[in-house]
């Protein structure tokens, strides 16, 4: 028998064996158990082909990372993540990860280039430390809006970022409400595409809005709004806009909005130009009480100032990107994605279905 074939058999046997006994993938793994009072307790007693679960976090979303660890009943593993004086990123893992199932939590939000480099260096450090598997938990993916060539001689930067993450050594990735679902195909490893729609929809239900209507800010967001519809069972309308540089003009609203309470749905709020939709809706007879449900609060430039529009009552968003103190507003309500991300980490570690998380909510899970 050729030597390479023997080695392959040997490695395969190692992957499916642990402590000398053959186990099915994830069959005897407990993560995130709770005591009689409902408090999360440390539970990392796993007989798992990928080894014990280990959580690391970059510096982009520390509060969200800690909340995820708390949901799992685990502690974040220690790592030194810093920069040299010349701004080069530096990572030193301070715990053993040999043979471990490692999850790295890092949104690639502003400063985008810095958080991406930090993530890549962390992946490389974990890979060189002989981790069994590396999963990147990237709730917000920077460069996702550069997913196509809008004109000649442009890059497709989203594809480049996906290539960098996989080349660095990631075995799989997780993200939330990508700007374009097709970005999943940019990765050469499995990517689990999650959605924060259930969490934001639950928050909307608490408001008891008068005759609400969901608004897609453009045709491209119509599918996103349909997901909200499947949960909230309310009508929708679609806006048609024209963009020239940073200027946005809403030319048409397709659907009935008169005397209704609009809820504008989108995946990203960056410069806040979406507030132009508020004027267009009010001009067409909508109630001057506008709500927004937008997953990623990028909030650059005059975004916070624009959120001061008198007709805007509330922006419901998530913790995929931290909102610094100077950008916080009484109008902004943040819902946590930690329970969902903790659940997907547990499911990946124990080799359970991820799509079943949404199967009861959507006809076609994300």
Separation between Cα atoms, residue 245 and residue 266, nearest integer Å: 19
Could you tell me which residues are beta bridge partners of residue 295?
A: none
Q: Which of 311, 323, 226 is nearest to 276 (CA)?
A: 311
Active site residue 39: no
Contacts of 5 (CB under 8 A, 6+ apart): none
The structure tokens listed for 1 are 């028998």
Exposed / middle / buried, residue 73 (Cβ in 10 Å: 0-12, 13-18, 19+)? buried
Q: Which of 38, 75, 37 is nearest to 54 (CA)?
A: 75
Where b means 16+ CB within 10 Å and e means fewer, 25-56 reads ebeebebbeeeeeeebeebbebbbbbbbbbbb
* Catalytic annotation, pick one of 70, 241, 302, 327: 241
Separation between Cα atoms, residue 108 and residue 113, nearest integer Å: 8
Separation between Cα atoms, residue 96 and residue 182, nearest integer Å: 36
How many CA atoms within 13 Å lie on the side-chain side of 18?
Answer: 20
Q: Which residues are catalytic?
A: 241
């Amino acid at each position: 028998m050729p030597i390479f074939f023997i080695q392959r058999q040997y490695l395969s046997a190692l992957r499916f064996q642990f402590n000398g006994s053959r186990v099915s993938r994830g069959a005897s793994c407990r993560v995130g158990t709770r005591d009689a009072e409902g408090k999360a307790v440390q539970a990392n007693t796993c007989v798992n082909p990928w080894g014990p679960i280990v959580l690391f976090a970059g510096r982009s979303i520390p509060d969200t990372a800690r909340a995820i660890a708390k949901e799992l009943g685990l502690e974040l593993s220690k790592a030194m993540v810093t920069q040299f004086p010349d701004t080069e990123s530096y990572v030193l893992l301070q715990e053993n990860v040999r043979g471990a199932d490692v999850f790295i939590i890092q949104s690639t939000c502003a400063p985008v280039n810095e958080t991406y480099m930090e993530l890549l260096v962390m992946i490389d450090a974990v890979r060189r430390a002989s981790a069994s598997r590396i999963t990147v938990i990237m709730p917000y993916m920077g460069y996702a809006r550069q997913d196509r060539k809008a004109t000649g001689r442009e890059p497709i930067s989203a594809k480049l970022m996906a290539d960098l993450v996989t080349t660095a050594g990631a075995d799989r990735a997780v993200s939330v409400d990508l700007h374009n679902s097709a970005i999943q195909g940019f990765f050469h490893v499995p990517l689990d595409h999650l959605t924060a729609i259930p969490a934001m929809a639950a928050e909307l239900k608490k408001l008891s809005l008068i005759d609400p209507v969901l608004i897609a800010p453009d045709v491209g967001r119509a599918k996103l709004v349909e997901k909200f519809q499947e949960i909230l069972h309310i009508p929708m309308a679609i806006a048609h806009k024209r963009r020239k540089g940073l200027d946005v003009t809403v030319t048409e609203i397709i659907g009935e909005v008169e005397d209704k309470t609009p809820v504008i749905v989108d995946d990203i709020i960056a410069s806040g130009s979406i507030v132009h939709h508020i004027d267009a809706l009010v001009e067409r007879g909508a109630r001057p009480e506008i709500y927004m449900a937008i997953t990623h609060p990028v909030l650059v430039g005059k975004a916070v100032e624009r959120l001061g529009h008198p007709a805007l009552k509330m922006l419901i968003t998530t913790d995929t990107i931290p909102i610094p103190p100077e950008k916080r507003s009484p109008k902004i309500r943040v819902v946590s994605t930690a329970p969902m991300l903790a659940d997907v980490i547990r499911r990946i570690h124990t080799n359970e279905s991820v799509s079943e998380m949404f199967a009861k909510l959507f006809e076609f899970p994300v």
